[in-house]
Amino acid sequence: MAAFQGKVVWVTGGGTGIGAAAARMFAREGAVVAVMGRRREPLEQVAAQIAKDGGTAIVEPVDVSNREQVDAAAGRLLQRHARVDILVNNAGLNLVNRRLAELTREDWDLVINANLTGAYNMVSAVLPAMKTQHDGLIINIASTAAKRVSGVAGIAYSSSKFGMLGMSLSLTQEAWQFGVRACCICPDDVNTPIMQRRKVKYSEEILAQMIQPEDLADIIRCVSLLHPRTSIPEMVVTPTTVRPYTPAESGTPS
């Protein structure tokens, strides 16, 4: 039997990068996967590939920062499948102009609402079903920006990811009594489209040295296969190749 046969998994930010890789992995392993994100077209592409490979995917366009949209999407999915076993909270964004001197109040709101409030909105949407089941796993994809601040990530992104880590650890402390576990995965540089939001552009050689989305999908799989009596509250993942940031990346004087 496939590892996740009969499971229902929701993946936000599922149209590209880590989310797309995780959605494909869960579908290959037998799960019904709700692929969630703001833009329908990339979600449809991921779902089509899953269907081609023999899996089952549901496309659910949703802006996670919009609580009404999240609640409506959750209602549709729960009406259709009556349960949710795993939530991968992966939706997130960053800015091009991300340093304090460049940041606007609107920029701050955009990042915090998408990365932190959006993650909470999804947690809030799945918790009632998981409590009823007395079983569930919430995997929050943060960043090493949740562990250390830098000009590379920027003030808003770092704040959002510190917040996500705090939220996830709070879930670990409180949600176990309902049978719900949480894991916050903090990867360093991952070769995803968010890299295109940096002012410094990387060569194919450098991109190949970064963590790849499929690597994160493998880690998500391992966490998801743990026996419910065992939890990993947080995990830091880094590329094997150590590459110091340049002044141009970090925004520090050269």
Phi, psi dihedrals of residue 140, rounded to the nearest 5°: -100, 125
Q: List strand residue ranges (DSSP E) for the chain, in order.
A: 8-12, 32-37, 56-61, 86-89, 136-141, 180-187, 234-237
**Which amino acids are annotated catalytic?**
157
Exposed, middle or buried by CB within 10 Å (0-12, 13-18, 19+), for 90?
Answer: buried
Q: What are phi and psi of 210, to 5 degrees?
A: -75, 165
- The secondary structure of residue 190, as a DSSP letter, is B
∠ CA 140-213-242, nearest 5°, is 95
Instruction: Tell me how far apart the alpha carbons of residues 13 and 122 are, in angstroms, rounded to a whole number.
Output: 12
The angle, 0 to 180 degrees and rounded to 10, between the axes of the packed helices 17-28 and 40-52 is: 30
How far from the centroid of its chain's Cα atoms is residue 68's Cα? 20
Six-digit token pair at 232? 């990993």
Q: Are 212 and 188 in contact (CB under 8 A)?
A: no
